[in-house]
Chains A and B, each alone.
Chain A
């Protein structure tokens, strides 16, 4: 009995070691987190405070913010809060008078939550935006896309941060 338990323990530690050696601690943690959390969907995060609520209102007014037509791609875990990669893609077409007018990138818990406002024109075609941002701490990120027809679409992502990149 004692030996069996010991053997199981050894087997488990060998597995864990192999996993760690194979992809590093962060990759392993990310995989673990990805397995534990629903990949997409769920509730839209409410603005955590008055500042963020006012900011969103300043950007898009009272218009309804719907989820869809935008994909915000970021790592689940950002090891270094000073450099966090962001990719925003939208399938909203450029046709006639319709095009993506602006993309607002909001990090809820940053000292200055509106990190960037990107204004586009029909000359840009469909939107594919990449950048690198700083994060103070674990936070929801909002990618809000405003179309020239007045529609507002968004995607959200919660990103865990360990190292403060804002001071």
Chain B
């Protein structure tokens, strides 16, 4: 069974100060549109993530507004200028009030 809300952020293994890095954020979610029916012909109600907030060191740097047109288990890749060592947090919210959050620490390679 998929675990709704299980999330992960992937960043490059080595980051130097000032790099523009590629961040990938993945979360498990059915993203039901409300247009499909189950095996008993009952409508599967809409259930999808509609808001994503990206915060870097506690400051909001990006916000995504989604509809159910985003695929199941949404994955989003975006850029970030890594100019300081700080946590990068992503928070997903769905239309049923679910809130899911995870974070990684942006740290610079020492050498």
Task: Give the interface of A toward B (CB within 8 A).
Answer: 82-84, 94, 107, 110-112, 114-134, 165-167
Contacts of B66 in A (CB 8 A): 115-116
Contacts of B97 in A (CB 8 A): none
Cβ–Cβ contact B33 & A167, under 8 A: yes
Q: Which residue of B lies closest to A104 (CB)?
A: B65
Contacts of A119 in B (CB 8 A): 62-65
Cβ–Cβ contact A167 & B69, under 8 A: no
B67 an interface residue at 8 Å Cβ cutoff?
A: yes
Given A116-B65, A166-B33, A167-B36, also A131-B70 (CB < 8 A): yes
- Assembled-state Cα–Cα distance A118/B81 (Å): 17
Contacts of B34 in A (CB 8 A): 167
Given A111-B33, A167-B36, also A121-B77 (CB < 8 A): no
Cβ–Cβ contact B71 & A132, under 8 A: yes
- Say which residue of A114, A116, A123 sits within 8 Å of B56 (CB atoms): A123
- Assembled-state Cα–Cα distance A124/B20 (Å): 8
